Amino acid sequence: MPGPLLPGSTIGVVGGGQLGRMLAQVAHQFGYRVAVLTGGAKDTPAGSISEIEIAAPFDDDTAVERFLAESDVITWEFENVDPSLAEAAAAAGVPVHPSGAIIADAQDRQREKRALTAAGVAVAPWRPADTSDELRDAVEHLGVPVIAKAARFGYDGKGQVRIDDPAEIEAAWTTLGGERLVVEAVVPFERELSVVVARGADGTVVDHGVMENHHVHHILDTTIVPAEIPDDRADEARALAHRIAAAWDLVGVLCVEIFDTEQELLVNEVAPRPHNSGHCTIEAAAASQFEQQLRAVCGLPLGDGECRPAAMVQLLGYLWTDGEPLWPAALRDSMIHLHLYGKAEARPGRKMGHLTCVGDTAAQALQRANDARVVLSGR
């Protein structure tokens, strides 16, 4: 195994979003340089604070060549990228963490379900559907209601259609654009959980405990840590994440999203990178999910991920509807931490930033973070 990549080296980040920005912030703190391949956009959240921003598509060979020439290691903040990028990196002798094989599995829901099942992890009952006839067969087999999800390029509920009646099948197939699908039974979950886990090159695995997540319109709205669940259930959720990290031979960070049905834990999906639900680790843990990503991909020892009770509330673009949010009012509570992603245009459902709060209990932290969010738009 080569030695660790030391400060002064350049971390190549695929994707220019807020996850890359928060990775770049800790990389800079540690004395690393950052090069970002954005996928096309300029002045991205990550690229605008990095030494190098390459504003080009992921399949632009010349741009990829430059990105690889600038980078000492490649990691991902966005996984919906052709895994041939990882092959190009291997050919150029640049290490890639997590591996292209993990990216290929995580970006395709059919492959992901099979890889999870192979790792011995339970998922919701599902069927693949590559044609409208297969969609019909899947609905018949699973019984309504189901959720049909495009196998690729979905996020935040995009590329998903719920089918409550077999009469809706054709419309669902058309809405989803004739893409390959995963058709899942609707899981009657009690709550949604997630576990962010880091695994080092030496096989060490560290997590941040279990997060409990609440979505609004399919977008993560709030997270608390630790989740309000019995200890044995939390241990089970953490064990699932550790099992996936080891089975996939992860080097880096991944987030496992879980449905807790009371009877059992079912894995919904896996993101091979830090995750929205892990943002509170910046204040709640000695080593945040972004610091763990940096440490893992550089071959450094992992930090202590244990979290104090904390909460995160998302700041979406609708908060800008009547002008700039009232930042001083929200920050009057000295326990509130503000994170803004540097996005110029505030569209209603766009993730613009988040607030976090650490407290004696997660419920108290959530109350304070929610109160702060309310006063932001309280004109």
Total Cβ atoms within 10 A of residue 164: 10
Nearer to ligand AMP, 123 or 358 (CB): 123
Q: Identify which range of 72-80, 169-177, 181-189, 244-252 contacts ligand AMP by CB under 6 A.
A: 181-189
Those residues whose C-beta lies under 8 Å from the C-beta of residue 131, and which sit 6 or more positions away, are: none
78: tokens are 């966005």
Rank residues 108 and 184 by Cβ distance to ligand AMP and give the closer one.
184
Of 72 and 184, nearer to ligand AMP (C-beta) is: 184
Asked if 192 is part of the footprint of ligand AMP (rule: CB under 6 A), the reply reads yes
Provide, rounded to whole angstroms, the least separation between the CB of residue 373 and ligand AMP. 20
With respect to ligand AMP, which residue has the nearer C-beta, 157 or 342?
A: 157
Backbone angles phi, psi at 126, to 5 degrees: -150, 165
Q: Which of 187, 331, 338, 340 binds ligand AMP (CB under 6 A)?
A: 187
Choose the stretch contacting ligand AMP; rule: CB under 6 A; options: 22-30, 71-79, 183-191, 353-361. 183-191
The answer to whether 274 and 17 are in contact (CB under 8 A) is no
Which stretch, 75-83, 95-103, 185-193, 274-282, contacts ligand AMP (CB under 6 A)?
A: 185-193
Calpha distance 132→138 (Å, rounded): 10
Q: Which stretch binds ligand AMP (CB under 6 A): 91-99, 186-194, 246-254, 287-295?
A: 186-194
Q: Please say whether the beta carbons of 163 and 170 come within 8 A.
A: no
Burial 124-152 (b: 16+ CB within 10 A, else e): bebbbbeebebbbebbeebeeebbbbbbe
Among the listed ranges 110-118, 128-136, 180-188, 304-312, the one in contact with ligand AMP (CB under 6 A) is 180-188
Report CA-CA distances (Å) from 239 to 160, 209, 261, 263, 291. 29, 10, 17, 17, 22
d(CA 35, CA 10): 7
Check residue 288 for interaction with ligand AMP (CB under 6 A). Answer: no
List binders of ligand AMP among 127-166 (CB under 6 A). Answer: 147, 154, 157
Q: Report the nearest approach of ligand AMP to the CB of residue 32 (Å).
A: 31
Give 72 or 192: the residue with its C-beta nearer to ligand AMP: 192
Task: Using CA atoms of 137, 143, 146, 150 in order, give the dihedral in degrees to the nearest 10.
Answer: -10
Choose between 257 and 283: whose C-beta lies nearer to ligand AMP: 257
In sequence order, which residues have a C-beta less than 8 Å from that of residue 216 and are 6 or more positions away? none
Min. distance of Cβ 257 from ligand AMP in angstroms?
A: 6
Residue whose CB is less far from ligand AMP, 30 or 155: 155
Bridge-partner residues for 224, per DSSP? 212, 311
The residues in 225-284 that bind ligand AMP, with binding defined as CB under 6 A, are: 257, 268-269
Whole-angstrom distance, CA of residue 243 vs CA of residue 236: 10
Number of residues that bind ligand AMP (CB under 6 A): 13
Q: Residue 290 Cβ, how far from ligand AMP at the closest point, in Å?
A: 21
Residue 217 C-beta: closest distance to ligand AMP, Å: 10
Distance CA 273, CA 13 (A): 11
Binding to ligand AMP by residue 42, rule CB under 6 A?
Answer: no
* Shortest distance, position 212 Cβ to ligand AMP, whole Å: 12
Q: List the one residue from 108, 184, 212, 260 that touches ligand AMP (CB under 6 A).
A: 184
Q: Minimum distance from CB of 231 to ligand AMP (Å)?
A: 24
d(CA 225, CA 347): 28
Q: Specify the stretch interacting with ligand AMP by CB under 6 A; choose among 110-118, 182-190, 199-207, 298-306.
A: 182-190
Residues between 198 and 217 with contacts to ligand AMP, criterion CB under 6 A: 215
How, if at all, do strands 265-271 and 252-260 pair?
antiparallel
C-alpha 319 chain-centroid distance: 23
Helix (H, G, I), strand (E, B) or coil at 233: helix
Phi–psi pair at 149, nearest 5 degrees: -125, 130
* Interacting residues toward ligand AMP by CB under 6 A: 124, 147, 154, 157, 184, 186-187, 192, 215, 218, 257, 268-269
